[in-house]
Amino acid sequence: MSNSEFILKYGCNPQQKPAKIYTNNDSLPFKILNGTPGYINFMDAFNSWQLVKELKQITGLPAAASFKHVSPAGAAVGLPLSDALKKSYFVEGMDLSPVAAAYVRARGADRMSSFGDWAAISDIVDLQTANILSKSVSDGIIAPGYTDEALEVLKKKKKGSYCIIEMDWNYEPESIEKREIYGVTFEQKRNDVLANEDMLTNIVTNNKDLPENAKRDLLISMAVLKYTQSNSVCFVLDGQVIGVGAGQQSRVHCTRLAASKADIWYLRQHPAVAKLSFKDGVSQPNKDNLIDQFLRDDITPLEMKDWADILNEVPERLTAEEKAEWLSNLKGVSLGSDAFFPFRDNIDRAAKSGVKYIVQPGGSVRDDIVIEACNEYDMVMSCSGIRLFHH
């Protein structure tokens, strides 16, 4: 095997053999430091790498992503965490570097979906980040480098089989990209557009007050959408994704999915969740699963039968009124959409989950109806003119 190709065990499924990745250049732009990444691992790795690299370029902050099946479950930049978030993300008492904080935030967006994720980090992975990953169910990581201490920790993960890729930061692919579907080759210019504040200047609503933190969050949403399977909608707050609706055929279903995830993200910070007392030895995934069940409306007694084995005391669940009261405090959320909103129902649903700022391409024949809906909620909406479909 040369430096320009890597033979894979199989493709997307075990029956898809032979399989390999290769380049027509002299060498591939990465090194495998540990493990044996597979076809899907590499797809997640390269998509997630592009995302975190762009987030770093856009914000100047360390960035991280948690990828599953070629879409981000979460993404974030390295801002400090509140005490409530630390408790919600199970990192109380930990000293978090900006790089570690970025990954904790990225994984915290949707902890259920991040189970068995592929991690991407824009900066050198330090020991604090490696320690977080060592306790997480994760398949692999891509980053521009690792400290010796971090690499030592990560190489022990998954009984020594954890996939670790070192990516060349300076690598830039050719401007024309190709792919083959059913024996037919597709060719297009690579989507190299980088989200920037000029895309936020066409504010079409009556309210034109767009603060700096909202600009940052809207740009983050656009970068995330660029690497999320379409249709897609992304909710962002305080430098991190809090809900993604990916791969839905209807845009309102994207919005509903992203909003429901944002609601769960916020409800995880409710005092009733913080008071849940787990028995010693309960694994992190089991804690995440129980919290998800605790917050669901459709939970059945059969699903609750093991709660007494996991919790020191089984609590009363939150009522619909208690949830609504808590969610009424979720405000200032930014929303990005990869294509225009065809109807106002997206705006109505977004408003229920605290959305205040929106960026979308615009161009619908019903733009006026969507703008009117935003005005009714006193939202700020910018039409970027940039569609971000990803397939």
DSSP 291-360: HHHHH-SS--TTTTTTHHHHBSSPPPPPPHHHHHHHHTT---EEEEESS--SSTHHHHHHHTTTEEEEEE
pLDDT tens string 85-122:
999 999 998 989 999 999 999 999 999 999 999 999 99
Residues 234 and 350 in one domain: yes
Residues annotated as catalytic are 68-69, 231, 391
Indicate whether 146 and 223 sit together in one domain: no
**CA dihedral sign, ordered 61, 66, 71, 73:** negative
Q: Please state the rounded mean pLDDT for residues 318-333.
A: 96
CATH code assigned at 231? 3.40.140.20
Label residue 202 left, alpha or beta by phi (over 0 means left) and psi (-120 to 50 means alpha): beta
pTM of the predicted protein model: 0.95
- Clarify whether residues 102 and 149 are in a common domain: yes
Q: Would 208 be classed as within a structural domain? A: yes
Indicate whether 64 and 123 sit together in one domain.
yes
Residue with tokens 């990225």: 106
* Residue closest to 340 by CA, chosen among 233, 263, 218: 233
pLDDT digits (tens, 9 = 90+) for 26-48: 899 999 999 999 999 999 999 99
Give me the mean pLDDT over the 169-173 stretch. Answer: 95
Contacts of 319 (CB under 8 A, 6+ apart): none
Residues 366 and 230 in one domain: yes
Q: Give the domain extent around 133.
A: 27-167
Asked whether residue 139 falls in the same domain as residue 37, the answer is yes
Euclidean distance between CA atoms 379 and 117, whole angstroms: 34
Domain-located, residue 6: no
Instruction: Output the 3-class SS for 145-161.
Output: CECHHHHHHHCCHHHHC
Residues 114 and 36 in one domain: yes
CB within 8 A of 67, min separation 6: which ones? 44, 45, 47, 48, 73, 117, 118, 119, 120
pLDDT of residue 2: 58
Q: Tell me, yes or no, whether 348 and 223 share the same domain.
A: yes
DSSP 8-state code for residue 203: B
Residue 117, domain member (yes or no): yes
Could you tell me if 126 and 223 lie in one domain?
no
The number of domains in the chain is 3
Together in a domain, 290 and 155: no
d(CA 217, CA 123): 20
Other CB atoms within a 10 A radius of the CB of residue 351 amount to 18
Indicate whether 389 belongs to any domain. Answer: no
User: What is the tens place of the pLDDT at every residue in 46-80?
Assistant: 999 999 999 999 999 999 999 999 999 999 999 99
Which residues neighbour 282 within 8 Å (Cβ) at sequence distance 6 or greater? 310
Cis peptide before 231 (omega within 30 of 0): yes
Other CB atoms within a 10 A radius of the CB of residue 344 amount to 17
Are residue 116 and residue 156 in the same domain, yes or no? yes
Instruction: Determine, yes or no, domain membership for 323.
Output: no
For residue 21, being part of any structural domain is answered with no
Whether residue 344 is found in the same domain as residue 363: yes
